[in-house]
Structure 1
């Protein structure tokens, strides 16, 4: 179970890093917001779900 939490945290860190770099670049690029809006919203939703799932899985570790 500990390995599962560590894997979830690793995925969360990688996704967070990608979002921290990708969102400002997308917003700063002219015309990119309209093309990438759905991808950014989907990624943010996956990130929020991953935070909740990681918390739930972590609550089962004694």
Structure 2
């Protein structure tokens, strides 16, 4: 179970790094927000679910 939590944390960190790069580029580029907002919202939803799943999985490890 500890390996599963480590993989969840790794996925969370990876997705967070992608968002740190992607969000400013998307917001700074003219017209990109309209094209990319569904992807951004979907990614934010996945990130939120991943945070909750990681927290719940950590309850069983600790």
TM superposition score normalised by structure 1: 0.98
Count how many residue pairs are aligned between Structure 1 and Structure 2.
62
The runs of 5 or more residues in structure 2 that have no matched partner are none
SS in 2 for 1:19: helix
* Structure 1 runs, 4 residues or longer, greater than 2 Å off: none
SS in 2 for 1:60: helix
Aligned alpha-carbon RMSD (Å): 0.5
* CA shift digits 1:5-61 (9 cap, x unpaired): 000000000000000110110000000000000000000000000000000000001
TM superposition score normalised by structure 2: 0.98
The runs of 5 or more residues in structure 1 that have no matched partner are none
Q: CA–CA distance in 2 between the matches of 1:46 and 1:19?
A: 12
In the other structure, the counterpart of 2:53 is 53
SS in 2 for 1:36: helix
Is 1:32 the equivalent of 2:32?
yes
SS in 1 for 2:61: coil
User: Offset at 1:3?
Assistant: 0.1
